[in-house]
Structure 1
Amino acid sequence: MLRYLWAMTKIQSLDGTPISPLCYGAMQFGGTADADASRAMYDACRAAGLTFFDTAHVYTGGASETLLGQFIAPERDRLVIATKAAYEGGAGRDNILSSVEDSRRRMDLEVIDILYMHRWDPVTPLEETFETLAQLRHAGTIRYVAVSNYAAWQVMKAQAVAASFDLSISMMQPMYSLVKRQAEVEILPMAQDQGIAVVPYSPLGGGLLTGKYARGGDGRLTTDSRYAARYGQPWMHETAAALTEVAAEAGIDPATLAVAWAARHPAVAAPIISARSVAQLAPSLGALSVTLDDALYKKVTALSPTPAPATDRLEEG
């Protein structure tokens, strides 16, 4: 555990400011959130104390990075900025270098704090990927290397290759929420063992855990077939309804409770929150002021099935 805590505290901004306990994901910037709405959400995050912002080369055709770069310009050195490469085009050298240069230009950054490989590339040799990342880090173009959407075995394979270039994976992004707990089986224990900070995305389950869909609201689950399938199991909707009831009893917004629950896991450094407007963002930011006691954490945890351990020996769970 001490090794893991060291990994979390070493990730700082250029002026030494630590990462905040929540990360804002700018996936909506320039898309469902126009420039004014994006700016308002950025300002709300800063007012709440967030120092950690996440984007990607592919988000909204580059508008996300461009807008974020404009917003952070006056205070860049006190913030931690993450972006991602190689979602499209593979994790080969040329694609990584091109993506990084695009991202630096869009955000007007000399150095990118955290660069994620956006997803696993089964074709490109890991040696090519991590030699390229090692060169970027040695040149001072990136500060920390990270991975997103990797399985635990993929992280360990990549970590071994990275070590041959005097490099290590500092951070990773898995999906994690009350209705998506598969990361508890191997990813979160692996991250703790390896000293990798975990920054999980979708702590609200695509908005399911806010309770808005039960009220007839719209969002990704109603507009995107991928999200509809991802969160389409009946038990997930039952869990969301039960969470709304528990939240009401506790006097907490269900979105606040869902984010606070994800943040409570000892392997989690900073859940990624996002929204289309300041009003939609506010309950997630509210998790900053909520600390779940053991009783409430256990009560919320019991609302969804605990995944079996990796050995599938249920008596060991």
Structure 2
Amino acid sequence: MSYMASSERYGEMKYNRVGNSGLLLPAISLGLWHNFGGVDTYENGRAMLRRAFDLGITHFDLANNYGPPPGSAEEMFGKMLKTDFLPYRDEMVISTKAGYRMWDGPYGEWGSRKYLISSLDQSLKRMGLDYVDIFYSHRPDPHTPLEETMGALDQIVRQGKALYVGISSYDAEQTAKAIEILNDLGTPLLIHQPSYSMFNRWVEDGFLDVLTNSGVGSIAFCPLEQGLLTNKYLSGIPSDSRAAKENTYLSEERITFDVIRRVKQLNELAVERGQNLAQMALAWVLREGRITSALIGASKVSQIEDNVAALNNLDFTSEELAKIEQILKK
């Protein structure tokens, strides 16, 4: 059955301006890091993308190495664009990245001009696109001059392969320098994608000030700490969770008794607010308006619906914020 987007898709979603630019992003964006690769069920991924768009999620975040295997998330997304979303392409913000290892040899990762431009060319082919809306340098490269990496981003925009550029996981000093270089080149930095959650607050130590003072937007990845800030771990570690799998950031060793105690206390506060823990965690990330969008992942449609419902209550009382701080500092 052919897909026809909901006529009410823009009724409930909140859209935020990205820094000083003219671009708006949904407060909740969907990342295709997991569950959209070649090892995953195509129809489930397709159902999630359809429902996300119907709920007003217009921004879909990818990278060259997303899968597994690397590249397969872009390939799957490209198929879905062709079958379902081609009429809506101009209503979507599609982003991809390059920085991590993608192919063998000395030109298959990091931040050289050679790698970034070659990788984006491959990404465009996989997705069947002429351009992406945002192209990111996925991580800083300690071996390549920042001027070369930012120069490649500028060249990509001038070639018409991306409308805007971003960076991810750069620290405050690296970000300030990248902003300066790109401004001089005439291609301003649109957005930074840092990790940020209740349990990971490094961006609050001056980093967000750099973005705000320079008119650069931000999109937080892992706002739910890969599922830790959800109801999933309240009763132990489920066998199908990321923590139960090998080679994941969220390992069993990180889920200590003390961490679970804090998660349970946060969950109690969320219930008092009329939310579940995931909804409160997303609202907390968005609470001050300094984060443009929270980037979620999902393995099923109901998770997307649940996360978008966080937007129904983004306000915190001073007492609630103080209680959260008390829980996190214990």
TM-score bracket, normalised by the shorter chain, equals 0.7 to 0.9
Name the CA distance, whole Å, in 1 between partners of 2:140 and 2:241.
27
- 1:149-195 CA distance string (max 9 Å, x none): 11111111222222332222110111111111111112212111111
| Residue in 2 that maps onto 1:199 | 219
Distance in 2, Cα, partners of 1:195 & 1:300: 29
1:41 shift after superposition: 0.9
Aligned counterparts, 1:18-97, within 5 A: 18-28=24-34, 29-30=36-37, 33-60=40-67, 61-69=70-78, 70-71=80-81, 72-88=85-101, 89-97=109-117
Matches within 5 A, 1:116-135: 116-135=136-155
* TM-fit CA distance, 1:49: 0.8
Q: Distance in 2 between matches of 1:160 and 1:229?
A: 41
User: Would the aligned equivalents of 2:286 and 2:314 in 1 still touch at CA under 8 Å?
Assistant: no
SS at match of 1:226: coil
- Percent identity over paired residues: 31
Partner of 2:283: 260
In the alignment, structure 1 residue 8 sits paired with structure 2 residue 10: no
Structure 1-normalised TM-score?
A: 0.87
Distance 1:167 1:225 in 2: 36
Please state if 1:219 is matched with 2:238.
Answer: no
User: What amino acid maps onto 2:269 in structure 1?
Assistant: V
TM-score by structure 2 length? 0.83
Matched residue SS, 1:264: coil
Larger mean CA deviation between 293-302 and 207-216 belongs to 293-302
Helix, strand or coil at the partner of 2:30: strand
Distance 1:47 1:237, change over 3 A: same
Deviations 1:62-111 (A, max 9, x none): 12112223233231101111111122212111111111011111111111
* Structure 1: gaps spanning 5 or more residues: 13-17, 307-317
Which ranges in structure 2 are unaligned for 5 or more consecutive residues?
1-15, 102-108
Structure ranking higher in helix proportion = 1
Checking the alignment, whether the CA contact within 8 Å between 2:243 and 2:250 is kept in structure 1 is yes
Instruction: Return the letter of the residue paired with 2:41.
Output: D
Q: What displacement does 1:259 show?
A: 0.9
Cα deviation, residue 113, structure 1: 0.6
Pick closer, same or farther for the CA change 1:230–1:132 going to 2, 3 Å: farther
Corresponding residue SS for 1:59: coil
1:221-257 CA-partner distances (Å, limit 9, x unpaired)? 2214432279446543332111111112222111111
Give the corresponding residue for 2:329: 305
1:294 partnered with 2:317: yes
CA RMSD in angstroms, aligned pairs only: 2.2
Superposed CA deviations along residues 114-165 of structure 1, whole A, max 9, x for unmatched, are: 1111111000111211222111111221111101111111111222222332
What is the aligned length?
297
Query: Which amino acid counterpart does residue 152 of structure 1 have in structure 2?
Result: A
> What amino acid does structure 2 have at the position aligned with 1:75?
Y
Choose from 138, 143, 149 the match for 2:169. 149
